[in-house]
Amino acid sequence: MVILTLNCGSSSVKYQVYDWDKKDVLATGIVERVTLGGSTITHKARGKADYTVEHECPTHTVAVELILQTLTHPEFGVIADMSVIKAVGHRMVHGGSRFAKSSIIDDEFLAAFRELNDLAPLHNPANLTGVEAAKAVLPGVPHCAIMDTAWHQTMPAHSYTYAVPRDWEEKYMVRRYGFHGTSFLYNAKRAAVLLGKDPFACNLIIAHIGNGSSINAVKDGCSFDTSMGLTPLEGLVMGTRSGDLDPGIIFHMMRKAGLKASEVEKALNKESGVLGVTGKWADRRDIEQAAEKGDKVAILAQEIESYRIKKYIGAYYAALGRVDALIFTAGVGEMGPVTRKLATAGLENLGIVIDEKKNELAKCRNAELDITGPGSKVKVFVIPTDEELVMTEDAFALMNGSYDVHTKYRYSFQSRDYVNKARAEGLERDLVKKPYLKDIIAKLP
């Protein structure tokens, strides 16, 4: 039995194909520049050469059709025909306070989800387009919504309530929701395994650092606070998003520069963050290369981003009172030793110490790494996230009626014996080139 997962953005569709019986990833890929012209699909299948081809996708429906054609391609495909796909899991960004867990997508769900479009105008409409496209191509299988916001529904009122007029929340749903929920769920459960503890006895700080970044305080295994708010704009400095700022700046720019609300929104979401600081780079690899050459603006961007992360680590440590582990995950979190080093520098008095040599070596997407330094009271892990696996397992459980909220449901990756086959094979290749990785792989207690 095969489960397909789709992550539809405004101009892209990411996908994964998972063989549930063999517990194995068959293929992953992405269609880029959907609706923009010059569309391409990049497809990676186990045991086969990578496949990239240009194919115009004026709509998301065409993109989904292209994905399915590729999956059944006689040379690069991984399934014989569509009949083996038994469920589709969709990443849905903003579920508001209505959706506390993953759900089967039916007409009632779609109507409720459409009402939330104003909360995530850059994300939810694209998610809906992807669902409609996939349902048109695969009408006979269950389609399941996996909510980015669901994980954070355990936050207490004092964490999610803004100090604004009370009727703003009641009438306009203004409150903190948080995002990156599937990533935080996966990392929280895996950290518990690495710590050898009951997941609901763990206090964690998880930093999901990528183009979009957020940080999560996990208390007794549940989300307690998180840096993103009503939208994914609040919190950490990101690739193109500003993160926290004085709201007065918005009014100042509208008055002084004559900007419209839509122009300010665009600037803060797409022209700010490290891109805004440097004026030309959103990719941290470009910034790191420039900083190594002494570029002062690149160095400043690194310092600003890492300093914001450090402040949140300190704030969440205070909020939790006790921290078992600090986890870095997602693109920059997994592959950015400079960001990790700067973000943890000076936290020794909080009992957070990293091993600088191990941190420098910790660049691997196929293993969970331990970069804890001597004398550290808090474990520091680098854990490759796996949002697609969470989506896959939720979709399967919804399909067979066994699904429940994470406090009442056990995932396969919570087992000490869990192995991601694709990553295990990838690690074998990594160890040939980087044998030192074996010394920093996190060991089970």
- Set 19, 21, 106, 148: catalytic member: 148
Taking the C-alpha atoms of residue 174 and residue 154, their distance in angstroms, rounded to an integer, is 17
CB 320, CB 303: distance < 8 Å:
no
Q: Which residues pair with 225 in a beta bridge?
A: 217
SS3 143: strand
Give me 40's structure tokens. 């391409």
Residues 6+ apart with CB under 8 A from 193: 413, 414, 415, 416, 418, 444
CA 119 to chain centre: 19
Taking the C-alpha atoms of residue 403 and residue 422, their distance in angstroms, rounded to an integer, is 25
Q: Output phi, psi for 95, to 5 deg.
A: -100, 5
Quick one: which of 210, 181, 178, 204 has its CA closest to 191? 204
DSSP string, 145-194: EEESSGGGGG--HHHH--SS-HHHHHHH--S-----HHHHHHHHHHHHHH
Is 295 annotated in the active site? no
Helix H or strand E encompassing 29: strand 24-32
Give me 133's structure tokens. 């496209």
Taking the C-alpha atoms of residue 162 and residue 174, their distance in angstroms, rounded to an integer, is 8
Helix H or strand E encompassing 40: strand 40-45
Integer CA distances (angstroms), 148 to 7, 123, 178, 394, in order: 11, 11, 8, 13
- Going edge to edge, which strands form the sheet with 24-32? 51-54, 40-45, 24-32, 12-19, 2-8, 85-92, 143-147, 103-104
Helix H or strand E encompassing 90: strand 85-92
Q: Are strands 325-329 and 40-45 parallel, antiparallel or unpaired?
A: unpaired
Give me 94's structure tokens. 């903003």
Taking the C-alpha atoms of residue 144 and residue 113, their distance in angstroms, rounded to an integer, is 13
Active-site positions read 148
